[in-house]
Amino acid sequence: MELYKLIPHDTKIDFVSKRKYVFLFSIFMTLGSILTFFFHGLNYGVDFRGGFVMEIRTQEKADIGALRTKLNDLHVGEFSLQAFGSDKDVMIRMPSSGESQAEQNAALERVKAALGDNVEYRRLEKIGPKIGDELVHDAILAVIISLCAILLYMWIRFEWQFAICGVIALAHDCIVLMGLYSACHYFEFNVNSIVALLMTACYSIHDSVVVFDRVREDMLASRNMTIVQLLNKAINQTLSRTMLTSLTTVLSLLALCLCGGKVIFDFCFPILFGLLFGTFSSICLAAPLLLYTGIRIDGKDLEVGLAKAK
């Protein structure tokens, strides 16, 4: 069984003593992501900018590569192709690029002409700016409600100190992921991006809860330890579980990114990026933040405090 132990059970890595470097790195990444968002913006997809969504069915198995080449030769601006349903069904998304309505309609007719008469148009839908604005509002509201629900759960499950630290780590991961979307306009920000944000939040808070649960157990059983020793012990005790869980998910996402094609890559890579930062924050950020909150157990201050941690 020793061959299956990725991380030894009795590790004694001093994570907490490196907290200042971690905090500086996290502040740099967070501020950089916020500034990038304000100055560079996001590459909104058709769900937010408006445009056309077209579902077609070919007579034979759809050749996504050939269809993409045909549309590239038209120079109609950005578009995305996605296979769905059967191997004959293809979804084409053409976001609006600020052209007039007549120019967008002309581009759509050129696309239909390039596809030819051998395809069946099963859906042709125009998404207007109003719908895009409603999606932006709903997406922001969904993320805010999720954060508030997680904060409430953490408050009930533990104490407010744990809730605040968990949400700070979670918000850090989501902001950094937004920075990726803003810095790399290769990735469209669409409804799949909201899924990636919520999945990042789930992974981040899940790992943090595991560490916090062990912190609380050790607080009850090890009152003669300093708070730094206690936090390091809890992190090391859950390190193997955290790394194994993250590694299995990372391997799955890597396989999808490398072998799943462009559409799958655009969806899975941001999730992979968010997962890596979620693992980092749960180990190196969430627990050390407890040093500055005055953690309590059973309504009483711990006998050890921040003064002994310095």
* 251 HSE (CA, 13 A, CB side): 5
Return the bridge partners of 83, or none: 90
3-state secondary structure of 139: helix
In this predicted model, what pLDDT tens digit does every residue of 181-215 receive, in sequence order? 888 877 878 778 888 888 888 888 888 888 888 88
Region 275-280: mean pLDDT is 88
Q: Which of 55-59, 95-99, 254-258, 285-289 has the lowest mean pLDDT?
A: 95-99
For residue 129, the model assigns a pLDDT of 60
- Inter-residue contact 154 to 162 (CB < 8 Å): yes
Q: Which of 33-42, 46-55, 210-219 has the lowest mean pLDDT?
A: 46-55
In this predicted model, what pLDDT tens digit does every residue of 156-188 receive, in sequence order? 777 778 888 888 888 888 899 989 988 887 787
Q: How confident is the model at residue 35 (pLDDT cuts 50, 70, 90)?
A: very high
Give residue limits of the domains in the chain: 2-43+131-309, 51-127
Determine the longest span between alpha carbons in the chain, in angstroms. 79
In this predicted model, what pLDDT tens digit does every residue of 126-138 receive, in sequence order? 766 655 667 767 7
CATH homologous superfamily of 2-43+131-309: Multidrug efflux transporter AcrB transmembrane domain (1.20.1640.10)
What is the torsional sign of CA 45, 204, 280, 292?
Answer: positive
Q: What's the whole-number average pLDDT of the chain?
A: 77
To the nearest whole percent, how much of the chain has pLDDT over 70?
81
Region 57-68: mean pLDDT is 76
Q: What is the CATH number of domain 51-127?
A: 3.30.70.3400
- Inter-residue contact 57 to 120 (CB < 8 Å): yes
